[in-house]
């Protein structure tokens, strides 16, 4: 709907008025910031001048402490105000350029007047406290995303508000000038989305607040059950929705929820940096971000050398000739399945009766408490207790035993010797300890016998310290041995789960696992089960501070991993986002992953959302890519036009390099800024780099890359997950590269990274997946 010239004029005048107000507020704030800054510098400089330092008498020491504390509090308060004012300044400077992006006219039932609500990235009020702009997250703003003109309702913490939506208007405002203005009906208009999506890809993700779609808005504002599952097509806005949801949560629960109580699990460090600008752009601090691998490293990285998921992926994709290959694949699939998790649960139950392994408690090479004794003690504890409770009792018992052993140790010759060589520093420490214990006065220290006795106790106590600490950390439990035991004898499982169906290659899987463990290496597929077992036995150090967990690219997680994350953050709600069609890891079996989820939380605690509309790519690219997968017809393209994907067969590697280099140059000439040559593996990426680097400036991205910049780059498909590029070139889509059914999703994931253009090359025969696409959806290039 077009807007009259006069109306446009009025709107522009309002923009002028409000931006002027914003400017005024910024001037005030700027002054405040400078004032605060010099105050802080002054306080820091004169900190010790302004506190009364006197420590001669006890009461003066207390006064000094109070004075220091007060001064520190004043400083902390100023620093807080400084940070706050700076944050406000940065939001306002963005709002001065573009104060709002939407407007709704709403008349609440029972009211005479229609209110004009302008929506921006934050609220802005005039001197009389009247809202000139509403925060996009305010309850009423949801009408902009959800409501169609007519009768509407929206939820507030105080209840439902009903009324009439009379107008919904969208704006593009740049540098205080309205560029575009239109009224929309049902959805947030295509015009604005067209404009936003038609832009060039960035090395960093952008916020989508101006164009959040109805189905995304429901997810963003969900206050429902503890677990939200979002299944969405490639490019349907899962990651964007997750990030706007974080911003919404921070607004909705401001005062009680902070950014560091929210954790986002992402697929790799590069993705972390890709999404890291969205929240700051919205004036919020970033949530915490991690990868599952980081978590594993922290918890079991000291036990083994961990294989990362990309090394595993590279093996799966490149080592088909390895005679061990099929058993390893079967092992990966089994060890990441719910069946194996059940097996481990049964194993844990069995360990309650038998099979537990312990280490001797040793002082240097001398065994102080043998493993057999520990084992005996463990199994003497009531079986009705959980393993973890029994471990705690066992540790207490062992500490008592150690105390006893320490007493005996005092008369050993090494103690006498050590006492002779005690340095001054240690002696002083010993006396201090003694004084603290009030067991001794300086005068009684003349008593030689008692002195020797005390120093012996001290020396032994110090020597036993690491041992006591390791007992407290339950390091006497041989977790590695317990996990290994499961595979050391292929028939072992029959002791506690005779009925269970094991994989056909179980024997080989067992042999492979033991061989690797004995080399000090832990395969990716063994890492989470081992951690799960460890935490079940030793108890889990939970993190109670985290209140919301987001798992992006969740199709790549195993049931073990979900169970673990849930146990790790017992107070958190979870939002899990994924796409089965992009399940590229070897353990992925259709749908299995998400099916395990409701069991974890209980079906009442789960709400599932499905996003079918794809926003990233042009209509032509979506129509093409959706034919690469089963059920793809359910994916709806957003109606944005672009050239059809091209398919090009070349004779050999030389021609391939020449054609791709030429393509990169012409894409750059056409203004595309991020161009990705996507390869199947890191190995193929290196080969591609070798042949392309002479012809065109290009960078190689590997698993250790933490960010990428604009320009042309080469990247393995599994690292391009979650990211997008103006144009994608598939390096070699030949039958030999993408031929197996297991490679279909990887190919699909690679192709769906393209926003505006997709170009596919191959040598020899093309991939059978391409043969399934209707010829009218692409252009063959000669
Ligand atoms: N409502 C929206 N308004 C504007 N842009 C949007 C909207 N929803 C999604 N997009 C854009 O679509 C692209 C894809 O979004 P996003 O990466 O969040 O999708 P995804 O579902 O996580 O994709 P994938 O699973 O393929 O990684 C991004 O450029 C994002 O900005």
pLDDT tens digits along 716-727: 999 998 899 999
Q: Coil, strand, or helix at residue 299? A: helix
Distance between CA atoms of residues 608 and 601, nearest Å: 13
Nearest residue (CA) to ligand 1, atom 30 = 237
Torsion of CA 328, 330, 332, 335, to 10 degrees: -120
85-124 per-residue burial string, b: 16 or more CB within 10 A, e: under 16: bbebbebbebbbebbbbbbbebeeeeeeebeebbbbbbbb
Tell me which of 289-293, 393-397, 445-449, 708-712 is least confident: 445-449
Task: Please give the distance, rounded to the nearest whole angstrom, from the Cα atom of residue 615 to the centre of ligand 1.
Answer: 6
Nearest residue (CA) to ligand 1, atom 3 = 211
Q: Do 642 and 260 contact (CB within 8 A), yes or no? A: no
For 541, residues 6+ apart whose C-beta sits below 8 A from its C-beta are none
Residue 572 banded pLDDT, cuts 50, 70, 90: very high
* ipTM topping 0.90: yes
Q: Decide if pLDDT at 655 tops 90.
A: yes
Torsion of CA 530, 536, 537, 540, to 10 degrees: 100
With vertex at residue 751, the alpha carbon angle to CA 746 and CA 754, rounded to the nearest 5 degrees, is: 140
pLDDT value at position 449?
A: 67
Tell me which of 83-87, 238-242, 278-282, 443-447 is least confident: 443-447
pLDDT value at position 381?
A: 95
Distance between CA atoms of residues 187 and 212, nearest Å: 9
pTM for the predicted model, two decimal places = 0.87
549-570 per-residue burial string, b: 16 or more CB within 10 A, e: under 16: bbbbbbbbbbbbbbbbbbebbe
SS (H, E, C) 234-298: CCCCHHHHHHHHHHHHHHHCCCCCCHHHEEEECCCHHHHHHHCCHHHHCCCCCCEEECHHHHHHH
Mean pLDDT for the stretch of residues 338-359 = 94
Phi/psi region, residue 411 (left: phi>0; alpha: psi -120 to 50; beta: rest), is: alpha
Mean pLDDT for the stretch of residues 726-735 = 96
Distance between CA atoms of residues 377 and 397, nearest Å: 8
Cβ count near 181 (within 10 Å)? 18
pLDDT value at position 205?
A: 86
Distance between CA atoms of residues 524 and 723, nearest Å: 24
Q: Do 141 and 119 contact (CB within 8 A), yes or no? A: yes
DSSP letters of 616-667? SS-HHHHHHHGGGSTTGGGPEEPS---PPPEEEEESSHHHHHHHHHHHHHHH
Task: Please give the distance, rounded to the nearest whole angstrom, from the Cα atom of residue 141 to the centre of ligand 1.
Answer: 21
Mean pLDDT for the stretch of residues 300-307 = 91
Q: Decide if pLDDT at 690 tops 90.
A: yes
Distance between CA atoms of residues 647 and 661, nearest Å: 15
Q: Decide if pLDDT at 755 tops 70.
A: yes
Q: Coil, strand, or helix at residue 768? A: helix
Mean pLDDT for the stretch of residues 601-612 = 89
Relative orientation angle of helices 424-437 and 448-472, to the nearest 10 degrees: 90
Q: Coil, strand, or helix at residue 735? A: coil
Per residue in 128-157, pLDDT tens?
889 999 999 999 999 999 888 899 999 888
Residue 595 banded pLDDT, cuts 50, 70, 90: confident
Which of 616, 618, 749 for mutating ligand 1's site (highest number of atoms within 8 Å of CB)? 616
Cα 758 to the chain's mean position, in Å? 29
Mean pLDDT for the stretch of residues 479-502 = 95
3-state helix, strand, coil in the chain (%, to 5): 50, 15, 30
pLDDT value at position 365?
A: 85
Q: Do 161 and 153 contact (CB within 8 A), yes or no? A: yes
Q: Do 762 and 650 contact (CB within 8 A), yes or no? A: yes
Q: Decide if pLDDT at 187 tops 60.
A: no
Higher pLDDT, 202 or 85: 85
Distance between CA atoms of residues 30 and 40, nearest Å: 15
Tell me which of 135-149, 456-470, 575-589, 724-738 is least confident: 575-589
Tokens found for residue 165: 């939506």
Q: Do 115 and 132 contact (CB within 8 A), yes or no? A: no
Task: Please give the distance, rounded to the nearest whole angstrom, from the Cα atom of residue 748 to the centre of ligand 1.
Answer: 16
Per residue in 220-263, pLDDT tens?
999 888 999 999 999 999 999 999 999 999 999 988 999 999 99
Task: Please give the distance, rounded to the nearest whole angstrom, from the Cα atom of residue 278 to the centre of ligand 1.
Answer: 12
Distance between CA atoms of residues 29 and 95, nearest Å: 14
pLDDT value at position 618?
A: 95
Binding residues for ATP: 232-239
Nearest of 170, 150, 156 to residue 106 by alpha carbon: 150
For 398, residues 6+ apart whose C-beta sits below 8 A from its C-beta are 361, 369, 374, 377, 471, 476
Tokens found for residue 462: 């110090």
Nearest residue (CA) to ligand 1, atom 15 = 237
Task: Please give the distance, rounded to the nearest whole angstrom, from the Cα atom of residue 210 to the centre of ligand 1.
Answer: 13
pLDDT value at position 441?
A: 53
Nearest of 253, 321, 250, 312 to residue 286 by alpha carbon: 250
Task: Please give the distance, rounded to the nearest whole angstrom, from the Cα atom of residue 239 to the centre of ligand 1.
Answer: 7
For 339, residues 6+ apart whose C-beta sits below 8 A from its C-beta are 500, 501
Q: Do 479 and 530 contact (CB within 8 A), yes or no? A: yes
Q: Which atom of ligand 1 is nearest to the CA of 611?
A: 21
Mean pLDDT for the stretch of residues 432-454 = 63
Higher pLDDT, 441 or 379: 379
| CA-to-CA separations, 224 to 218, 229, 519, 593, 666, in angstroms, rounded | 10, 12, 48, 22, 49
Q: Do 168 and 147 contact (CB within 8 A), yes or no? A: yes
Which of 239, 267, 628, 758 for mutating ligand 1's site (highest number of atoms within 8 Å of CB)? 239
Residue 60 banded pLDDT, cuts 50, 70, 90: low
Tell me which of 125-139, 193-207, 341-355, 683-697 is least confident: 193-207
Percent of the chain with pLDDT over 70: 93
Find the length of the chain: 782
With vertex at residue 722, the alpha carbon angle to CA 720 and CA 723, rounded to the nearest 5 degrees, is: 60
Mean pLDDT for the stretch of residues 730-747 = 93
Q: Which atom of ligand 1 is nearest to the CA of 578?
A: 25
Mean pLDDT for the stretch of residues 23-36 = 92
Nearest residue (CA) to ligand 1, atom 26 = 234
Q: Decide if pLDDT at 215 tops 80.
A: yes
Residue 669 banded pLDDT, cuts 50, 70, 90: very high
With vertex at residue 586, the alpha carbon angle to CA 585 and CA 591, rounded to the nearest 5 degrees, is: 75
Tokens found for residue 49: 């001048």
Residue 589 banded pLDDT, cuts 50, 70, 90: low
**Distant-in-sequence contacts of 210-214, Cβ < 8 A, 24+ apart:** 210/101, 210/102, 210/170, 212/136, 212/145, 212/188, 212/241, 212/244, 213/145, 213/187, 213/188, 213/237, 213/613, 214/145, 214/146, 214/187, 214/188
Relative orientation angle of helices 292-300 and 524-538, to the nearest 10 degrees: 60
Higher pLDDT, 703 or 445: 703
pLDDT value at position 49?
A: 67
Task: Please give the distance, rounded to the nearest whole angstrom, from the Cα atom of residue 200 to the centre of ligand 1.
Answer: 13
Task: Please give the distance, rounded to the nearest whole angstrom, from the Cα atom of residue 286 to the centre of ligand 1.
Answer: 19
Nearest of 360, 372, 376, 341 to residue 533 by alpha carbon: 341
Tokens found for residue 190: 């295509």
Nearest of 548, 605, 608 to residue 578 by alpha carbon: 608
Which of 190, 235, 550, 726 for mutating ligand 1's site (highest number of atoms within 8 Å of CB)? 235
Q: Do 296 and 273 contact (CB within 8 A), yes or no? A: no
Distance between CA atoms of residues 155 and 158, nearest Å: 8
Q: Which atom of ligand 1 is nearest to the CA of 242?
A: 18
Nearest of 276, 318, 314, 310 to residue 293 by alpha carbon: 310
pLDDT value at position 676?
A: 96
Q: Which atom of ligand 1 is nearest to the CA of 752?
A: 26
Higher pLDDT, 324 or 58: 324
Pocket-forming residues, ligand 1, beta carbon under 6 Å: 193, 196-197, 206, 208, 211-213, 216, 232, 234-240, 579, 582, 615-616, 722, 724, 752
Higher pLDDT, 655 or 58: 655
Which of 190, 274, 615 for mutating ligand 1's site (highest number of atoms within 8 Å of CB)? 615
Q: Hunting for tokens 């340095």 — which residue is that?
A: 423
Binding residues: 232-239
Q: Decide if pLDDT at 91 tops 80.
A: yes
Q: Which atom of ligand 1 is nearest to the CA of 232?
A: 21
For 545, residues 6+ apart whose C-beta sits below 8 A from its C-beta are 260, 261
Q: Which atom of ligand 1 is nearest to the CA of 236?
A: 21
DSSP letters of 657-702? HHHHHHHHHHHHHTT--EEEEEESSHHHHHHHHHHHTTTS--EE--
Q: What is the mean pLDDT of the chain?
A: 89
Q: Do 173 and 179 contact (CB within 8 A), yes or no? A: yes
Distance between CA atoms of residues 665 and 686, nearest Å: 20
Mean pLDDT for the stretch of residues 679-687 = 95
Task: Please give the distance, rounded to the nearest whole angstrom, from the Cα atom of residue 725 to the centre of ligand 1.
Answer: 12
Residue 58 banded pLDDT, cuts 50, 70, 90: low
Residue 322 banded pLDDT, cuts 50, 70, 90: very high
Residue 596 banded pLDDT, cuts 50, 70, 90: confident
Relative orientation angle of helices 524-538 and 338-351, to the nearest 10 degrees: 40
Task: Please give the distance, rounded to the nearest whole angstrom, from the Cα atom of residue 76 to the centre of ligand 1.
Answer: 40
Q: Do 695 and 712 contact (CB within 8 A), yes or no? A: no
Residue 178 banded pLDDT, cuts 50, 70, 90: very high
Residue 448 banded pLDDT, cuts 50, 70, 90: low
Distance between CA atoms of residues 41 and 36, nearest Å: 9
Higher pLDDT, 428 or 501: 501
Task: Please give the distance, rounded to the nearest whole angstrom, from the Cα atom of residue 146 to the centre of ligand 1.
Answer: 18
Q: Do 542 and 351 contact (CB within 8 A), yes or no? A: no
Q: Which atom of ligand 1 is nearest to the CA of 241?
A: 18
Q: Decide if pLDDT at 600 tops 70.
A: yes
Per residue in 554-564, pLDDT tens?
988 888 889 88
Nearest residue (CA) to ligand 1, atom 16 = 237
Q: Decide if pLDDT at 188 tops 60.
A: no
Nearest residue (CA) to ligand 1, atom 9 = 237
Cβ count near 606 (within 10 Å)? 20
- Report the DSSP pairing between strands 674-679 and 115-120: unpaired
Distance between CA atoms of residues 511 and 313, nearest Å: 21
Residue 68: phi and psi, rounded to 5, are -60, -40
């Amino acid at each position: 709907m077009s807007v009259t010239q006069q109306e446009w004029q009025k709107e522009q005048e309002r923009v002028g008025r409000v931006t002027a107000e914003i400017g005024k507020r910024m001037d005030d704030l700027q002054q405040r910031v400078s004032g605060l800054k010099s105050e802080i510098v002054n306080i820091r400089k004169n900190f010790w001048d302004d506190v009364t330092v006197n420590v001669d008498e006890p009461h003066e020491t207390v006064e000094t402490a109070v004075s220091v504390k007060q001064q520190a509090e004043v400083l902390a308060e100023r620093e807080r105000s400084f940070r706050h004012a700076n944050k406000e300044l940065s939001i306002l400077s963005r709002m001065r350029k573009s104060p709002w992006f939407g407007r709704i006219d709403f008349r609440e039932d029972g009211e005479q007047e229609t209110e004009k609500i302008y929506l921006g990235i934050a609220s802005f009020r005039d001197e009389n406290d009247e809202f000139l702009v509403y925060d996009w997250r305010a309850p009423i703003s949801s009408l902009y995303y959800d409501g169609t003109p007519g009768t509407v309702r929206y939820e507030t913490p105080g209840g439902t508000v009903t009324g009439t939506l009379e107008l919904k208007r969208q704006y593009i405002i740049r540098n205080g000038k309205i560029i575009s203005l239109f009224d929309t009906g049902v959805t947030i208009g295509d015009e604005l989305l067209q404009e936003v999506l038609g832009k060039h890809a960035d090395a960093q993700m952008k916020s989508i607040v101006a164009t959040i779609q109805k189905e995304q808005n429901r997810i963003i504002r969900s206050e429902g059950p503890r677990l939200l599952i979002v299944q969405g097509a490639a490019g349907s806005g899962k990651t964007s929705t997750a990030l706007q949801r974080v911003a919404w949560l921070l607004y909705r629960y401001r005062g009680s929820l902070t950014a560091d109580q929210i954790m986002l699990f992402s697929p790799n460090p590069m993705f972390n940096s890709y999404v890291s600008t969205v929240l700051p752009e919205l004036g919020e601090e970033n949530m915490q971000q991690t990868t599952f691998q980081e978590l594993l490293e922290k918890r079991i990285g000291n036990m083994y050398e961990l294989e990362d998921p990309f090394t595993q992926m590279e093996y799966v994709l490149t080592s088909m000739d390895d005679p061990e290959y099929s058993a390893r694949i079967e092992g990966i699939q089994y060890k990441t399945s719910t069946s194996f998790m059940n097996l481990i649960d049964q194993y844990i139950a069995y360990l309650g009766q038998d099979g537990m392994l312990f280490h001797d408690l040793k002082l240097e090479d001398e065994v102080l408490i043998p493993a057999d004794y520990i084992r005996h003690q463990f199994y003497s504890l009531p079986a009705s207790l959980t393993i973890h409770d029994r471990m705690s009792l066992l540790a207490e018992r062992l500490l008592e035993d150690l105390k006893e052993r320490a007493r005996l140790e005092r008369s050993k010759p090494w103690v006498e010797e050590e006492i002779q060589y005690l340095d001054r520093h240690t002696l002083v420490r010993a006396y201090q300890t003694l004084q603290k214990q009030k067991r001794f006065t300086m005068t009684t220290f003349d008593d030689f016998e008692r002195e020797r006795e005390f120093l012996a106790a001290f020396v032994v106590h110090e020597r036993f310290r690491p041992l006591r600490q390791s007992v407290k950390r339950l390091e006497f439990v041989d977790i590695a041995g317990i996990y290994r035991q499961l595979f050391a004898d292929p028939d072992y499982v029959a002791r506690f789960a005779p009925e269970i169906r094991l994989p056909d290659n179980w024997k080989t899987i067992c042999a492979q696992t033991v061989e690797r463990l004995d080399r000090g290496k832990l395969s990716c597929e063994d890492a989470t089960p081992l951690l799960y077992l460890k935490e079940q036995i030793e108890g889990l150090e939970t993190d109670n501070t985290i209140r919301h967990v987001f798992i992006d690219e969740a199709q790549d997680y195993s049931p073990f991993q979900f169970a673990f994350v849930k146990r790790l953050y017992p107070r958190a709600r979870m939002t899990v986002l994924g796409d089965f069609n992009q399940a590229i890891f070897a353990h992925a079996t259709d749908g299995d992953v998400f099916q395990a989820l409701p069991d974890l939380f209980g079906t009442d605690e789960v709400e599932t959302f499905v996003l079918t509309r794809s926003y990233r790519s042009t209509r032509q690219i979506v129509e093409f890519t959706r034919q690469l997968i089963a059920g793809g017809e359910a994916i709806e393209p957003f109606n944005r036009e672009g050239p059809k994907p091209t398919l090009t067969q070349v004779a050999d590697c030389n021609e391939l390099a020449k054609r791709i280099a030429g393509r990169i140059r012409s894409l750059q000439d056409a203004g595309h800024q991020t161009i990705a040559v996507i390869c199947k593996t890191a190995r193929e990426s290196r080969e591609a780099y070798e042949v392309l680097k002479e012809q065109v400036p290009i960078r190689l991205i590997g698993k250790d890359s933490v960010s990428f910049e604009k320009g042309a780059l080469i990247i393995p498909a599994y690292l391009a997950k979650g990211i997008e590029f103006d144009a994608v070139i598939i390096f070699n889509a030949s039958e030999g590269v993408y031929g197996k059914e297991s490679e279909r999703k990887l190919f699909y994931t690679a192709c769906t990274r393209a926003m505006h253009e997709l170009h596919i090359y191959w040598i020899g025969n093309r991939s059978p997946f391409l043969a399934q696409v209707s010829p009218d959806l692409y252009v063959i290039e000669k």
